[in-house]
Chain A
Amino acid sequence: MLLYENKKGKLLTFLKIGLNPFKKFVATGEIKENIELAESRFDLIESIKKLIENEKNIILPIIGGVGTGKTHLFWTLENKLHYHNTVYISLENVYRKFYYNIYSEYIEEIGPEVLRSITNELCNNWGKFEKKFGFFHIADIEKVKKIAFERLSSQNFEDIIALNDIINAITTHQLDPWKKVEAERWLLGELMDSRELSHINLQYDLRKSSYAYTVLKIIIENSKLKSVLFIDDFEKLISLMKPDKESEDIFEPNWLYGEITSSADKLSAEKILDKILNLQTIEGLNIIITLKSVDALEEIKTLVKERDINLLSTFKEPLFLSNFKEGDIYDFYKKNIEEFLITINYLDFLKEDPNTYYPLNEKILKNIFHKTNGNPREIIKYLIQIFNDIIYSQENLEDIISRYENLTVFQQ
């Protein structure tokens, strides 16, 4: 029978293996974050939820400085917005083939099962379930296509050929057992050669912009869940539009091509902005954009105003993501340690004293908070540093702790 166990010593041994509870200080759209936002941000989450649930086709700006947790906010929203397909978009990833990449991200979020159910529902609405002799589901594909085209062509799709091909793909996916697999691959956004395309009687795959936009619109508008695009670091568009004055080009394009009014980057940034604004024509799609400052938002608004002043009404008042309050750092630390203990299967450590900050203490956390002004990324950086010291240095834990209890160490 185990009479006594040195739980703190055991935790320290785990840490000494080289396991740091604080690993990454930058959240990404790819790796899921399980830890919820700090308590002081609950109101912000509620405000966003309320707007997203009650409004249609809005652009909601979220403003927060570097390292305040804008990307982390996405993961919290994804967990909180249960009845929404929330899709993370990094402008760097969708810079080229914009609609195709947005569609790919969207399909990755909903998965093939939901895609099948949407195409099934669409075909039902287009008369797939018409029964011959009252019993036999022998769908007349041509008739279903005709009904689909009549219904969708009234919605002002710009590219009628794309619309026709997408109806063709959806009906083939549901009603033609011999070509179903290829049609599904096409709808999932797989790239296809001309032989494969001609087999399913389609002209292009979804790399063609008008095709990707049309299918995105049809799928989003017919999804049972509402959709939210979370576009991170939106001011990247502005930086692309402005030439970098500090950089020196060895090659000056003017020598060869004469006076160039717009750079290639500027042109493509403008195109992306147009395409993002065009997404507003998709019914029920809300867009959240994150920016670092109000100035950046104003610049974006000016650009939008130049294009169509009416679109400004879709911009909601910005919400602000501020730094941690002092209470948040304790809460944040405890949640991370708890998550770490779960991963090493040692949650028992917290049984005796659930409020412990071991191996750190309240004073150190307070020092970190004051040094970083509550900036979450900076806080994590310091925590990584301290835990690295605990893991790798030859010093006693007590010496490390007393060193960090002294505020001067943070000023070095």
Chain B
Amino acid sequence: MSQEDNIVLYDTSKEIKINGNFNGSIISVEREMNSIILSDNIQISDQIRISEGLMIGFEDMYNEKVAFSRKSEFIWNNLEECTLEYVVLIPKELMDQYDESQFSDSFPFTINMLHTAGLYFDDSEYNFKIDHLDFFKGEIIKNPVSLIFNGLTVADRVAIDQRGDPVFYDCIIVGRDQDDNLKVSYDPFLNVKIDDKVVKYIIIIGIEELKL
């Protein structure tokens, strides 16, 4: 079986676990912190190991939720302790589409954040909310990652329209269908209504984390 066929490498709810060393563009979702790990490798056997992955999420700091992105090696020595919900390997064809549609870095009106920051966060459980969408109305911001409903999107850029809703461009979308099966797709743009309460968070990855 080729790597392209195994897009779902690990899924706790469907009890999928494919052993092997995988390289490419890999998205892992960690359920304890509701965080996302982006990496170019993963080893799955009796243990799971991701070297040089980038974890993105919100963490508690001084009684507040603060967005973070952290480069690290992630190892779960036994699967019972593993907090990963699922791991998907994005097929090459989708990544090619994603690569081709990326905005040129030389486009002058795109905002690159230096540090990773939370653009939007809505946690009704803790009654905590961050909403900077109005501040960025009409702007284009590079490198957003968003947890939406029962899935996530990694996009090249997000624009905030005049109603204050985010429009993601050049997106890789991972989500579950009605049978709870994981699906991966590419969309040139994804329009989300913030009032629908489907967006859990939008994090803008700081360029500092990517360049260094």
A134 near B210 (CB under 8 angstroms)?
A: no
Verify A133–B38 contact, CB threshold 8 A: yes
Residue pair A177, B26 in contact (C-beta under 8 Å): no
Binds A, one of B6-14, B101-109, B128-136, B192-200: B101-109
Which chain A residues lie closer than 8 Å to B102 at the CB level?
137
Taking the closest CB of chain A, its distance from the CB of B189, in whole angstroms, is 18
Contact of A131 among B40, B106, B207 (CB under 8 A): B40
In the assembled complex, A245 has its CB within 8 A of some CB on chain B:
no
Residues in B110-162 with C-beta less than 8 Å from chain A: 143, 154
CB–CB B25/A180 < 8 A:
no
- Chain A residues with Cβ below 8 Å from B71 are 133
Answer yes or no: A136 CB below 8 A from chain B CBs.
yes
A177-B104 contact given A133-B38, A134-B26, A136-B143, CB 8 Å threshold: yes
Instruction: Compute how far the CA of A180 lies from the CA of B154 in the bound complex, rounded to whole angstroms.
Output: 28
Inter-chain contact B154/A177, CB cutoff 8 Å: no
Q: Is B57 positioned at the interface, with any CB of A under 8 Å from its CB?
A: no
A177 CA to B53 CA, complexed, in Å: 27
- The chain B residue with its CB closest to the CB of A129 is B99
Decide yes or no whether A276 CB sits under 8 A from chain B: no
Measured between C-beta atoms, what is the minimum distance from A180 to chain B in Å? 6
B30 CB-CB contact with A under 8 Å? no
Q: Is A132's CB within 8 Å of the partner chain B?
A: yes
- Find chain A residues with CB under 8 A from B207 CB: 138
Given contacts A177-B104, A180-B106, A138 and B26 within 8 Å (CB-CB): no
Q: A129 vs B207: C-alpha distance in the bound complex, in angstroms?
A: 17
How close is B57's CB to chain A, nearest CB, in angstroms?
14
Q: Could you tell me the distance in whole angstroms from the C-beta of A188 to the nearest C-beta in chain B? A: 17
Residues of B within 8 A of A135 (CB): 25, 38, 154, 172
Contacts of A133 in B (CB 8 A): 38-40, 52-54, 71, 210
The interface residues of chain A, by DSSP majority, are classed as loop
**Contact residues, A310-341 vs B (CB, 8 A):** none
Answer whether residue B91 sits at the interface, using C-beta atoms and an 8 A cutoff. Answer: no
Determine how close the nearest CB of chain A comes to the CB of B40; give it in whole angstroms: 4
Q: Are A177 and B105 in touch, CB under 8 angstroms?
A: yes
Q: How large is the interface on A (under 10, 10 to 19, 20 to 34, 35 or more residues)?
A: 10 to 19
CA distance A180 to B105 in the complex (A): 10
- Chain A, Cβ-Cβ closest to B56: A133
On chain B, the residues within 8 Å of A180 by CB distance are 106
CA distance A135 to B52 in the complex (A): 13
What is the minimal beta-carbon distance from A118 to any residue of chain B, in angstroms?
Answer: 17
Tell me if A138 and B104 are in contact (CB < 8 A): no
A136 to chain B, nearest CB (A): 5
Question: How many Å lie between the Cα of A142 and that of B207 in the bound state?
Answer: 18
**Complex: A137 Cα to B53 Cα, angstroms:** 15
Contact A136 to B105, CB < 8 A, known contacts A129-B99, A131-B25? no
> A134 and B39 in contact (CB under 8 A), knowing A177-B106, A180-B106?
yes
A134 to B24, Cβ gap below 8 A? yes
What residues on B are CB-neighbors of A137 within 8 Å?
Answer: 99, 102
Q: Which of B1-43 contact A (CB under 8 A)?
A: 24-26, 38-41
In the docked arrangement, what's the CA distance between A137 and B99, Å?
Answer: 8
User: Smallest CB–CB gap between A143 and chain B, Å?
Assistant: 13
**Interface membership of chain A positions 122-148, coded 1 if the CB is closer than 8 angstroms to chain B and 0 otherwise:** 000000010111111110000000000
Q: Quick one: which of B24, B26, B210 contacts A136, CB cutoff 8 A?
A: B210
Residues of B within 8 A of A136 (CB): 143, 205, 210
Given known contacts A177-B105, A177-B106, A138 and B24 CB-to-CB distance under 8 angstroms:
no
**B interface residues (Cβ-Cβ under 8 A, vs A):** 24-26, 38-41, 52-54, 71, 90, 99, 102, 104-106, 143, 154, 172, 205, 207, 210-211
Q: Which 3 A-B pairs have the closest CB atoms?
A: A134-B40, A177-B106, A134-B25
**Sample (10) of A-B pairs whose CB atoms are under 8 Å apart:** A131-B40, A132-B210, A133-B38, A133-B39, A133-B40, A133-B210, A134-B40, A135-B38, A135-B154, A177-B104
Residues of A in contact with B (beta carbons under 8 Å apart): 129, 131-138, 177, 180
